[in-house]
Chains A and B, each alone.
Chain A
Amino acid sequence: MRSSGPIEAGLPGDTPSGVAAAAGAVADPREAEFQALIDTDQRIEPRDWMPDAYRKTLIRQIAQHAHSEIIGMQPEGNWITRAPSLRRKAILMAKVQDEAGHGLYLYCAAETLGVDRAELIDLLHQGRQKYSSIFNYPTLTWADVGAIGWLVDGAAITNQIPLCRCSFGPYARAMVRVCKEESFHQRQGFELLYALSHGTPAQDAMAQDAVDRWWWPSLEMLGPPDAESPHSAQSMAWGIKRFSNDALRQRFVDMVAPQAVVLGLTPPDPELRWNEERGHYDFGACDFEELRRVVGGDGPCNRRRAAHHLKAHEDGAWVREAAAAYAAKHAATTAAA
């Protein structure tokens, strides 16, 4: 559900992961076959030959997508115990649970490429794999839950629908399953905000405040501008990325701008307006310096998110070990029988 893909690609200082074989190296003859599959919009499956760089890029992208789902459980889960009605509580619990499930599907898709989930978790803990920067922001009020549903899930959907046609079969299929289950997430966020913006003045103010804080980070979530994403071209050639960051951003704004009108909430962008000539919304410039800072580790919640995930993992070690020990004991018993 969460978009992780473009964030780390193309930021200055990053080592390119998607660079093809160095000039002068002999191309593998199987590469032509592989590229032909992609060019005819067929799926690459785990047992197919694939360039090393394709495998590496996909592992990273899918893993970071999975990490995003899991880390994303934290800011929203933050309000489960304080949900202001039983109905909202049930909805939020189900939504956060969906995110866990999506993480699961994605880790399993990544594993088909020859890594183990435990390795990927380790990389996350070491900071060598990342997650979507949007989850480094705090959920300060109940309205933030709605803003995440409406804006963050909206941006994620914008990124995910094209991924349903990604060239790698397991990832594409995971995305189809995710998109199906996610149909209610954005709608629930919208509905939550609608109830607030059409409630008391205090509720309306809460909703507006949340939108003020989540609007720009949601736009930035779709990644750095095309000019700063040199690896996008390779990802597109490989059918991993279908649309550029800027194209996705425009699509997202075109979707949510009219929704904001229905909500009666004002996005914090004085330049946001419909451009009849272009047939799209004009909007202001994102602060990509901020995105860089947050991706680099200096967002409001980076340390908290990381510590939480690490602690949960470490606290659970004895449980996982016990389950393995029990399985081993009983496998031995069965074998001896």
Chain B
Amino acid sequence: MTLVVAGAAAVYTLRIADDCLVLSHRLAQWSSWAPALEDDVALTNIALDLLGQARAMYARTAELDGTGRSEDDYAFMREEREFVNCQLVEQENGDFARTIVRQLLCSTWQLSQWQALTTSTDAQVAAVAARAVKEAAYHRDHATDWTLRLGDGTDESHRRMETALDTLWPFVDELFESDPVTRDVVTSGVGPDPETLRREWDAYVGHVLADATLTVPESSWKPSGGRRGLHTEPFGYMLAEMQHLHRSFPGVTW
């Protein structure tokens, strides 16, 4: 299926949908593997919230791009190069530390994005945002609580958190990139300028990491490209597993 870019707004909402879907899928992989039952429930709650956000944004995208595709068409029938999520959300779960760091970085960013989107000129997006802000706030707080406990817990947990930060930090810059799509939605008032979210993000994350006795990493490597359908190798495997059954029976009802 070829990607039809009907307009910047449709691409923008698709990016958000893909971010949510991919992150949700990664979190769902923790089911029956979490450190304690309570954490299994918590991670699944977050995954369910994100899945709900993804579905709402796919619905909006279908209206905006005029293709009338279903949420399942977006999720299961696009190739890897058609997904426009950022690379951070597709990173493998690793250990619990890496998952928590990914969640801290993502949720903090998603919260500020959803907050901005509550005043989107697109009424549907604003409506989704009104609900998503509460969910994202919870996700961010959950990740914060765990960052503190793992950063300032034992030597081992501290070490694992530092490793996780070093692994994931390079993917942060992409979250705040602007390009013709984002410039267009800023002009139309559909969405915020990603760069304007950076300062608040740095302040919050920096504060949490300091409290957690963790170091803000530096990275000379700054990968990017997710928004242009350029993903990391693990992503292909994730999609293959996710899409296989649906694609095996094209056009049926489940």
Contacts and interface: CB of A to CB of B under 8 A. Distances in A.
A322 B149 contact: yes
Interface stretch (B40-48, B106-114, B167-175): B40-48
Contacts of B37: 70, 100, 103-104, 107
A203 B28 contact: no
Contact of B153 (A70, A107, A322): A322
A312 B33 contact: yes
A87 to B, nearest CB: 8
Contacts of B35: 312, 315-317, 319-320
A190 interface: no
Interface in A87-109: 87-90, 93-94, 96-97, 100-101, 103-104, 107
B48 A200 contact: no
Contacts of B45: 97
Contacts, number: 134
Contact of B40 (A84, A100, A199, A315): A100
B253 interface: yes
B96 A316 contact: yes
Interface in B85-129: 95-96
A86 B72 contact: yes
B156 A318 contact: yes
A269 B21 CA distance: 43
B221 interface: no
A196 B76 CA distance: 19
| Interface SS of chain A | helix
A86 B74 CA distance: 10
Contacts of B54: 86
Q: How large is the interface on B (under 10, 10 to 19, 20 to 34, 35 or more residues)?
A: 35 or more
Given A86-B71, A200-B249, A322 B41 contact: no
B79 interface: no
Nearest to A312: B33
B229 to A, nearest CB: 21
B41 A104 contact: yes
Contact of A319 (B21, B41, B150): B150
B252 A199 contact: yes
Interface in B123-171: 148-150, 152-154, 156-157, 160
Contact of A94 (B48, B153, B252): B48
Interface string A63-93: 0000000100110010011111111111001
B254 A85 contact: yes
28 contacts: A73-B40, A81-B25, A82-B244, A82-B245, A85-B72, A86-B71, A86-B75, A87-B254, A89-B28, A90-B51, A90-B52, A93-B47, A97-B45, A104-B37, A196-B254, A200-B252, A312-B32, A315-B95, A316-B96, A318-B154, A318-B157, A319-B35, A319-B36, A319-B157, A321-B154, A323-B153, A325-B153, A325-B157
Given A85-B72, A93-B44, 6 more contacts: A80-B31, A82-B241, A86-B54, A142-B254, A312-B34, A326-B152
Interface of A: 70, 73-74, 77, 80-90, 93-94, 96-97, 100-101, 103-104, 107, 142, 192, 195-196, 199-200, 202-203, 308, 312, 315-323, 325-327, 329
